[in-house]
Structures are given as C-alpha cells and as structure tokens.
Structure 1
C-alpha cells in the first residue's frame, strides 16, 4: 500500500469484534508491572549510590577496663585446713574483711608457744655472740701484750748481746796482752838460760825467771779461756735473740689462730641469729595468714573450696570476688585481616545480650538499642584462634551504657570506618575483600632535637 490517504485503517475497524485483534493488544496489568519494575530498578540504581559506612564486626564480652577491677581469685598464702567461713556467696565485703579462718596442718608449727621458743633462742644466741666478742677482745689484748713483751725481751737480749760484744773485746785485749807478756817472758827465759849455762847468773835468779814464765803462761791460758768464753757467750746471745723471736712468734701465731677461730664462731653465730630472726619474722607473718582477708571491696561471687575441715594447699584459690564498682569495658575480638584498619579512638557500636536492638551496621544513625564506644586498647599479639583482642570503653558523647550490665555478658560490636557507596560494599562483600580505609589516621610529626631544646 502506498498509504497516500491521511485516514488510517484502524479508525474504521472495531477491534473488540475480532478475536485476533483482541489477543494482540497489550494487557493493562502488564503495563502496570512494567512500570513498577522500571521504577523499582531506577530506585535500586539510585540506592546503590547511597552512602554506606564500612565497619569491622567482632564479638566479645563485658569486662573491666583495669585489671584490678576484674573478677579475681582469693588465694591462701599458706597450707591449712578450713576451720570457719565468715562470709556467704553474694555477700558484699569490705577490703580487709575476713573471708575464712584456717588451722595449721604442718607439725613444724603445731607448738602454740613457737614464737616464745624462737625468742628464747634469739636471746641465747645473742648472749653467745656477746661472749665470743669478749673472747675475741681478750685475744686481741693478749696479742697486743705479746707484741709488747717481745719488744721488751728483744731489747733486753740486744743489751745482753752488746755487753757480750764489749766483754769479748775486753777479753780479746787481755788475751793479746798476755800473749805478748808470755812472749816477752819466753825471750827473757831463753836469754837467761844461756847465761845460766855459761855461769853468768845464779840458779836462784834463773829459777825465778822460769817461775815468772810459767806464771805468764798460766795467765795467757786463763785470758784465752775468758776470750773463748766471751765469744761463746756472744754466739749464745745471738742464738737467744733468734729463739726469743721464734718463741714469741709461736705464741702470737697461736693467739691469732685462736682469735680467727673465735671470729669464725662469732660470724657463724651471727648467721645463725639472722636465720632464727628470719624464722621468727616468718612465723609472725604466718600467724597473720591464718585469716584469709578480702584484698578489695566487692561481692563474694563463689566459694571454690566448700565445707569445714577441707585441706587447701599454698597458693590455692579458695573464693572469687568481684569488685563493687568496676570501670566497665567491652573485650572484643576481630579478625587479623581487619586489625590494620582499626586505630585507637575509632567509634564502635555495641549490642549487648539481653537488650533488644535493631542494628543497621552501615547506617548507625538509624540503629536502635545499640550503644556507642571508643577503641582504647589493641593487643600487639593475637589471642586464641588467631583473632586480636581490643578493649572498648563507653563513648562520653553518646548514650551511657546500661547500669545493669554484668561482667561476662556477651556482646556484638561494629567498629565504624569510612563511608563508601553501597554498590562498592556489595562488590567488596561478594569478593571477600577487607574494608577500605580511605584516609589513614593522622600521624604526629617527629620532634627534632632542635625543637626539643627550644
């Protein structure tokens, strides 16, 4: 058809009369569905570009921020037998209150007068030490007296030796004089003997000269004997000096040996005294350990050892106490791949077990029933299971945490990161990628030595 006319064929045909034409017509419900799908698709497309706040999920439990506020076991410092419980489970106790009383089980400490016995030993040992000190002082005085005596004795012996030397000189001079006199008398005797033989002198005179010669010989022998005696006396005096030195050296050495032995006994006694005093102090402290007291104020949570007459060991826990007003925090664990993205000061949304909540992790402002927190501590090593622990404290700018929270309650948390489009978050989740950190936490510039000095 050339379609020269301006009039159309459809204007002259009633489509309702013909079945084929009715089937070719588009249904009204289809049009509505198509329009709805287009609108939903357009809205979904726009939805993909809405901002979504990335987060790191973690689970954990309620705990105390400081270690001293966490539940702790009360341990016994000594071994003993439970004789009396002073508190009940759930009871509030003040610091210093008695939890239980122990009785002794070691035979070494059965004596009720053990401290008195130890005190008597201390006094006896002190008296022994005083006696040994006096003995040591006496030995020192004895050594000083012996040293003075040896000086006096040596001076006397030196004087005696000087006298012997002078006497030896005198006797040697007399001996030499007698030798000369005897030689002269001998010469005179020989001359007079020749004169007597030729008859020039009388026999009486010759006999008189011979008698003088014998007398001179006797004097010479006497002078020689004195000289030899003086010489022997000088030698004996010198030997006596050596003997005096040896004698007093032996006495002084013996006195010094006794002094050293006494000092050794003194030091040993002082060591024994220190040991007894240490045992006395330990016993005094042990007497105070029969009462197990509360280290701080709190609630008696659980008695680990029950009943009377039960024996406990040293360092064994007997009860658990929970501090009264702990500084509440959340102990949360996150995966290792998420730790580099978390820094101190990051905001956290927390959901506590037992508190109804409606949580939109990407839109924290639209969440209901969650509470704000701040990251305070991030461990430098991983915990069991390869996860890292961090401590979250209440956010001062957010709603306060419930006062009914108990330590140990379960929690879920979301560490809030940066805003990204929803399409990016869906793509990241489908591919299992970690959250992106668009801006790293600002680092403080390093302070130079010049700035520090200024």
Structure 2
C-alpha cells in the first residue's frame, strides 16, 4: 500500500529543477555583467542663484533712527517700492523739523551777500576805469602844456639870439663912438646916446636870458608834475585793483559757502527720504528681528531679509578634491531636490524617477571653507523642467554623470580601487575650433 505522506516527503523518484534554475541564474548573471553601467559621482548642495540680485538680501537701516510704524509682517509679499517701515530721527543735528528750510534760508542769504559783492566789484571796475580816464586826461593836459612851453622856449631862444646879435652890434658901435669921443670927433651928447643904446641892448639880452631860463624851469616843473601824477594815479589804481580782487575773493568764498550749504540741503532732503525703508525688489519678507514701536536702530543694522520672487534658480554643489578632475563645465548632473520624491537607480540615472537634469556652468578654482570645491549647476532647457516649487536654500543631492561602462568593469574598478573613467566635455568653442582645423 502506497502512502501519500511518503510521496510528499521523499522525492527520490522525481526530477530536480535545481540545475535548470542554477543555469538560468548563471546565464542571467553573465548577461547582467555585460549590461551598460553609467559611472557617476554623488555630491550634495543647495538651491541658489547665479545672480547676486536674485539671492536673499538683508534689509538694513540706512541711518540710525527709531521705528515709529510697521507696514509689513513676517511672510508678507511686497512689490518693489513698497514702504516696509518708517523711522524717525534721533540725532540732535537733525531734530529741527524746519532744518531744510532754515538751511535754504542760509543759502539765500549767502547768495544775497554774493550779489552785493558782485555789485561792489562792478562799482570798483567803474572807479578803475574812471581813474584810468582821469590819469590819461591829466597826462594829456601836461603833455599839451609841455608842448606849449617848448614852443614858447623856441620863441624866447630866438629872441635871445636876436638880443645877443643886437648887443654885439651895440657894443661895437659903443667902442667906436668912445674912440671918436676920445679923439674929439663927436660930442658928449652923442657919446651918451650911444652908451644908453648899449646899456639897453645889455638889459634886453639879460631879460631874454631870464625868460629862457624861466621857461626851461617851467618845463622841468611840469615834468616833475607829470611824474607825480603818474605816481599818484598808480597808487590809486593799485588800491582800486586791490579792492576789486578782495571783493572777487569774497565772491569766490561766498560761492564755496553756497555750494557747501546747498550740499547740506541736498543731504538733508535725501536723509528725509531715508526715513522710509523701501523694498528694493519684489519678494517675501522673512526673518524680521525687530519688534514693536520705538526700538532704536543703528546705522546699517540688519532688520530682516527679503527673498526675491523672480529667481533664475541654480544649484551649488560641493565636490571632493579627488573628484574635481572629473567635473567640467557643461557636465550633465542629475539633481534630486529635497521634498520631491525620487527613485534613483545609481547605474541607470536615465531610468530614475524624480530626478531633474542640469549642466555645470562654473567650477570655482578656490577651495571652500569646508574643504570642498564649489560648482554651479543650472537647468538644462532641453530636458524636463525643474519643479517650480523649489525654494532658495533647499537641499539638493546631485549625480554627476560620467562614462558608460559594462557592469563587470565597474565591479572590477571598485574592487581594485581605480578611479572612474571620464570624458572631456567639448564646449561650442572647442567644436568650432576642431571644425576649423
């Protein structure tokens, strides 16, 4: 009698399928070893932006002041130009509510002083011209007088020459008359008449000489007077010129004071505009660290942070120095963003789910404080779009794609500790250069 339990426990007479399964598994393993495997480097990083103006920015107080009004709260979205909060002045130099107007009054007063000196300069210029004209007129008068005296001197010198000739003739006649009187040829009366004529000729010559000497003296005196006039007017003109330069110096000084005061007015007006802290761009206000009304802010003190709304996101990844030669500009990187589920097949990144493609645009040559090198990755426009809900600073895991090799080669490389095979990324310029060659 054949028992059923015996047949279920003992399989001596049944055919075994172990060999078949072993063969299938062995052939499958062999096939798997020849499947393509994509070498890669795993890196970590965070979401950022390539542009400084699109990164989170601090809100700073441009001046020291006291908070008197808040227009926002944490988490509010603001537009460029929106007023975030209002400050009031705390410095003694700026507490006057009419500071701008009073300073402008000082400017107007300085301008009035400058106009006064400008008018004074005009008056001094008129005086200078009048002195020039008076000097020229006086010198012309003296020149005319000298010319008249020279003409008079010429006439008197002619008279003196005639008197000398007449005296010479009278002297000769007197000598002959005296000789004739001594010989008794003429009477005493005739001799006395000739003597009187001789004496008159001598007197006439003396008078002519005196006239010539007097005229010459007058010419000399007028020359001295001419020099005195020149000296006098030179002093007056120099004094007037000095007054003119002094007034012009006052004008230049007034211009400097006016410019300084106008600069103060402009600074005061600009400072009044700084009492309102304005949003520099569209974004969300976060991390406000001041509370309430009446808190005092220092110059440049941080109030909070504004995160821009319109951002061209990028990823900054950190690479180990040993892997740095494997990462080049243009390299393909698969990004896994925190908060977005992903299924990753390490050797087959193209078959992974929840990964987003990007490419390296820059690798920093300077090592970071954490001992790693930083690289920047941007979205690859030719592949799936990055999720719109990513946030600035979110964590990212990256997979830098290298070369495709068989599975057996990758196992052999890891067992022996060899580095991955990598290929050079050719940019547009290198391709154009190769085509040109």
Q: Which TM-score bucket, shorter chain as reference?
A: 0.7 to 0.9
| Alignment map for 1:126-145 (pairs within 5 Å) | 126-145=111-130
Of 423-432 and 245-254, deviating more is: 423-432
Task: State the match for 1:125 in structure 2.
Answer: 110
2:153 equivalent to 1:153: no
Task: State the match for 1:194 in structure 2.
Answer: 179
1:283 to 262, 268, 290: 268
Indicate conservation of the 8 Å contact 1:379/1:389, yes or no: yes
2:100 equivalent to 1:111: no
Flag the 1:199–1:49 CA change in 2: closer, same or farther, 3 A: farther
| CA displacement at 1:227 relative to structure 2 | 0.7
1:185 to 147, 159, 170: 170
2:381 to 381, 392, 396: 396
CA distance in 2, matches of 1:434, 1:188: 152
Flag the 1:159–1:317 CA change in 2: closer, same or farther, 3 A: same
RMSD over aligned Cα, in angstroms? Answer: 3.0
Task: State the match for 2:11 in structure 1.
Answer: none
Flag the 1:162–1:439 CA change in 2: closer, same or farther, 3 A: closer
Flag the 1:256–1:386 CA change in 2: closer, same or farther, 3 A: farther
CA distance in 2, matches of 1:135, 1:312: 51
Of 122-131 and 106-115, deviating more is: 122-131
| CA displacement at 1:284 relative to structure 2 | 1.0
Indicate conservation of the 8 Å contact 2:331/2:425, yes or no: no
2:205 equivalent to 1:220: yes
2:422 equivalent to 1:436: yes
| Alignment map for 1:61-76 (pairs within 5 Å) | 61-76=46-61
Task: State the match for 1:300 in structure 2.
Answer: 285
Task: State the match for 2:361 in structure 1.
Answer: 376
Indicate conservation of the 8 Å contact 2:330/2:425, yes or no: no
Of 231-240 and 107-116, deviating more is: 231-240
CA distance in 1, matches of 2:74, 2:363: 35
Flag the 1:432–1:128 CA change in 2: closer, same or farther, 3 A: farther
Task: State the match for 2:10 in structure 1.
Answer: none
| CA displacement at 1:364 relative to structure 2 | 0.6
SS in 2 for 1:303: coil
Indicate conservation of the 8 Å contact 1:304/1:320, yes or no: no
| CA displacement at 1:296 relative to structure 2 | 1.7
Give TM-score scaled by structure 2 length: 0.86
| CA displacement at 1:301 relative to structure 2 | 0.5
What runs of 5+ residues in structure 2 fail to find an aligned partner? 1-14
2:342 to 345, 357, 380: 357
Flag the 1:226–1:61 CA change in 2: closer, same or farther, 3 A: same
SS in 1 for 2:304: strand
Flag the 1:205–1:85 CA change in 2: closer, same or farther, 3 A: same
Indicate conservation of the 8 Å contact 1:338/1:434, yes or no: no
2:402 to 411, 417, 431: 417
Give TM-score scaled by structure 1 length: 0.83
| CA displacement at 1:39 relative to structure 2 | 7.4
Flag the 1:244–1:356 CA change in 2: closer, same or farther, 3 A: same
CA distance in 2, matches of 1:321, 1:228: 106
Task: State the match for 1:11 in structure 2.
Answer: none
| CA displacement at 1:59 relative to structure 2 | 1.5
Provide Cα deviations, 1:286-331, integer angstroms capped at 9, x if missing partner: 1111111211222110113334333222222212111224232212
Indicate conservation of the 8 Å contact 1:343/1:441, yes or no: no
What runs of 5+ residues in structure 1 fail to find an aligned partner? 1-27
Task: State the match for 1:257 in structure 2.
Answer: 242
Task: State the match for 1:174 in structure 2.
Answer: 159
Flag the 1:152–1:349 CA change in 2: closer, same or farther, 3 A: same
Task: State the match for 2:5 in structure 1.
Answer: none
